[in-house]
A and B are shown apart, each in its own frame.
Chain A
Amino acid sequence: MTTVRLELVPDAALVRLARLVAVSVARLNGLHEDTVEDIRLAVGEACGRAVAVHLRHGVAKTIQLSFTDGPGLTASIVDRVRQPPASGSEAVRLLRAGPGRPPGAGDVLGPDGAPAVLALLEGLADRLDISTGAAGTCVEMRWDADD
């Protein structure tokens, strides 16, 4: 099992770097190109959300990303903005209601009224776990190995 870790200062220009690393790890792990595309978009969405929430709260700390392979891929994106402790549906509610959507995305609604970011994360990952706490918000996404 290989884990690649990345720390980014909250700068929108660096979100692309996060996508590139995610794609590289996914391809090294032999995932199907359709899955790689899903990973590219989902990691970009999660990282863009984290950058936005850091900028909005004036938090200069780094955003932490990790990508762990085999089987499949797990991507974890952690922002460092303090939130009430929650997990599961309550954490999703906090993410849905709170700041952190990239500028311009806030008025895009999904089929159930969810912000587009959340709709995409839920739609693209095989499994999505969100937890919040004093240390920030962790968005963990998992993709199964291709059949």
Chain B
Amino acid sequence: MDLSLQTRNEGDWTVVAVGGEIDVYTAPKLREALVELVNEGRFQLVVDLEQVDFLDSTGLGVLVGGLKRVRANDGNLRVVCTQERLLKIFRITGLTKVFAIHESVAAATNA
């Protein structure tokens, strides 16, 4: 399964809806998308992982890189995820302390 990316605007936020598998092979595509958004001046990002089937440490690295980039511009990157198998990865790596993880896009954009 490949990686799918769909971007839309919701108010001040840009929502990146990700689908498929984020791994060592596909993660560069997500990295490029996030870098491009930041280069376009979009610093308020929500990454929606609800349609993601698989996430590994490379994908986490891309999200951390995205967070660093937006924070360097006084922005924010919030994550939407309710899948226990993905949340477990955030917990094991200690990244639940780094990312604001929300149950829905609405919750993320209104937090």
* Partner-B contacts on A (CB < 8 A): 12-13, 15-16, 19, 37, 40-41, 44-45, 48, 51-52, 101-111, 115-117, 119-120, 123-124
Please name all residues of chain B whose beta carbon is closer than 8 Å to the beta carbon of A108 when the two chains form the complex.
57, 60-61, 64, 93, 95
Is B4 close to A, CB under 8 A? no
Select A110's contact among B28, B54, B94, beta carbons within 8 Å. B94
* Residue from B31, B57, B60, B95 having most chain A Cβ neighbours under 10 A: B57
Q: Taking chain B's interface residues, is the majority helix, strand, or loop, or is none over half, making it mixed? A: helix
Is B85 close to A, CB under 8 A? yes
Is A120 touching B57 in the complex (CB atoms < 8 A)?
yes
Is B58 touching A48 in the complex (CB atoms < 8 A)?
yes
Is B23 touching A16 in the complex (CB atoms < 8 A)?
yes
CB contact list, B27-69 vs A, under 8 A: 27-28, 31, 54, 56-58, 60-62, 64-65
With both chains docked as a complex, state the minimum distance between the C-beta of A114 and any C-beta of chain B, in angstroms: 9
Is A116 touching B25 in the complex (CB atoms < 8 A)?
no
Is B5 close to A, CB under 8 A? no
Determine the distance from Cα of A94 to Cα of B75 in the docked complex, in whole angstroms: 37
Q: Which 6 A-B pairs have the closest CB atoms?
A: A104-B61, A123-B92, A116-B57, A111-B94, A48-B24, A105-B61
